[in-house]
Amino acid sequence: MRIGMVCPYSFDEPGGVQAHILDLAGVLRGDGHDVRVLGPA
């Protein structure tokens, strides 16, 4: 499955939301999904 995840916070500064999104994306990729994560620059 192709999945798009959007984070409202920049990945330049570590935080709980960013960590959760990246962890979840990693698990989904491990299950064989195509995951894209978008966030502000």
pLDDT, tens digit (0-9, with 9 covering 90-100), for 5-17: 999 999 999 899 9
8 A C-beta contact, residue 9 and residue 41: no
**Domain membership of residue 14 as a residue range:** 2-38
What is the per-residue pLDDT for 41?
82
Higher pLDDT, 31 or 13: 31
- Stretch (H or E) spanning 7: none
Report whether pLDDT(2) > 90.
yes
Give me the number of domains the chain comprises: 1
DSSP SS3 for 33: coil
